[in-house]
Chain A
Amino acid sequence: MSLEDMYQDVILDHYRKPHNRAPSLEGEHVHVHHSNPLCGDEMDLRLRVADDAVDGLVFDGEGCSISQASASAMTAAVLGRGLKDALDLTEDFRRMMHGEDPARLDDLEDAIAFQGVARFPVRVKCALLGWMALRDAITTYERGASAHTVTHED
């Protein structure tokens, strides 16, 4: 598989025209900031919850095409889902990035396009950044907190 194949059109589309990219979110409940000092990637994710579901979700940040596109595809796939369901989907994506077959092919929507990234181990953390921020945002909300900062060291 070539590098160009890894970056399918789907990934490039999300990179060029990201979904749900914004510096703020009306009525946000949680704001998490995730960074990876080794790459210099920065990710802000803001979550609004209604009826135990993801009611609003925006990301902002700086990073490589994979990290930005993956965060965009993630927001599109989880908006409107129940919090538990979103966490379950996150776990499915995480497993996929470690080479396992995804169980929820249809639910991952465009995020399925990142399956090929699993074959480029140094880029896996890029694809996971937005999803790990989502998991953190939901668990932060469930703890009753409104903000959390995480530094990824690998």
Chain B
Amino acid sequence: MTIDAASLRSRFPTLGRELEGRRLVYLDSAASSQTPDTVLDAMDRYYRFSRSNVHRGVYPLAEEATDLYEGARTALARFVDADPRGVVFTKNATEACNLVAYSWVRARLGPGDTLLTTVMEHHANHVPFTYAAQACGFEVRHIPLTEDGRLDLDVARELVADGTVRFLAVGHVSNVLGTINDIPALSALVRDANPEAVVHVDGTQAVPHLPVSFRDLDVDFYAVTGHKMLGPTGIGALIARPERLEAMEPFLAGGDMIRDVTLEGATWNDVPHKFEAGTPMIAEAAGLGAAVTMLEELGMDAVREHEVAFTGALIDALLTVDGLTIHGPTDTAVRGGAVSFAIDGVHPHDVGAMLGSKGVCVRVGHHCTKPLMRCLGVAATTRASAYVYNDLDDLEPLVEGLEAARTFFAR
């Protein structure tokens, strides 16, 4: 099944809008994807017809709400090929990374230990761990980049050689460079040096775009967010091996996460509920379930195939612009759909403003990757990122806007 982006667009209300008198061209899905009608309907149905709290309700309405919420957990587990007992709902991937940083890393790593990460991490997968390092006194080492924006595995091998690396935090796909990191190779490299090492992956930019099997990746933790995979904002998940979750202390305490409570203390509920304190995001879970259904109907192999074809055309189109340089790999086989670039002598904010005035939405700035910006020697980049609803029709307005920016701001 190939994806027919043009007909798919009618399912996304925002994409039917005009901006500045032109058809809206949305090339910022790496920041947040658009929301299809089925996701909106699923959230609306909960609020209109099944509105009640989850768990412990004995009346049918509450059972419906519980089914929606737990059904979304089952759907997400199936989608990423994981055990539902290992799916903890969070508000986003950032919270999932924090859960790991607080409940696993801070409780276990200290002086003499090393946490290995990379220079290309999103702040969500960087700051929770450097913050933990400051509090706990372990060392953080960073895998650098090769010339073409991939992780330098030769240096990584040196970084793990002393056997002190107990934890690896790495993104699956870079939100700036587009690089798809070889997770099995990285896990093997870390575990060869220390068989007890634990691997945490930020899957934010991978799960929406690639077929992902948590079981096949053979990692310990995997962070996911809903709003980049056609779902609503306000819901994400930590995917984990259930036995890892069982070994962890709770991060947030309160209602729903307990087994018994006395005046003096409490015991914890089973996983994953132990990590879900308080009333959860029920409508958002229903929406995420509908998003998973849509992606399953499209087929993740087809989604990836569409991304490879579009990204190849996008890179070719970008390179027709004089003075444009792409940051990151240009081989579509090893990259995702986020393409960052620079235009000689034109500041990204001016590029973004010019494109915006022509109805083309791209992101400009540091993309929450300030250490990576420093490595690239830039303050900001312009980034175009596509999804299932983009096709070749979107390239002409993009290139036209870039040419306009280049000539308008030429010095």
Taking beta carbons and an 8 Å cutoff, which residues of A are in contact with B?
A: 2-4, 7, 12, 15-16, 37-42, 62-66, 120, 123, 126
Contact = CB atoms under 8 A, between A and B. Distances in A.
B70 to A, nearest CB: 39
Contacts of B349: 39, 63-64, 66, 123, 126
Given A4-B408, A15-B411, A38-B365, A63 B354 contact: no
Given A3-B353, A123-B353, A42 B379 contact: yes
B112 to A, nearest CB: 33
B157 interface: no
B347 interface: yes
Contacts of A62: 347, 379
B interface residue count range (under 10 / 10 to 19 / 20 to 34 / 35 or more): 10 to 19
A95 B350 CA distance: 24
A4 B349 CA distance: 14
Contact of A37 (B20, B356, B370): B370
| SS class, residues of chain A in contact with chain B | mixed
Contact of B411 (A16, A38, A40, A41): A16
B365 A15 contact: no
A3 B411 CA distance: 18
A115 B409 CA distance: 20
B239 interface: no
Task: List the 6 shortest-distance A-B pairs measured between CB atoms, nearest first.
Answer: A40-B379, A3-B357, A64-B349, A64-B347, A40-B380, A16-B411
B408 A63 contact: no
Contact of A15 (B353, B370, B379, B409): B409
Nearest to A16: B411
Contact of A40 (B353, B357, B366): B366
B373 interface: yes
Given A39-B365, A40-B373, A3 B379 contact: no
A39 B379 CA distance: 7
Interface in B367-410: 370, 373, 378-380, 408-409
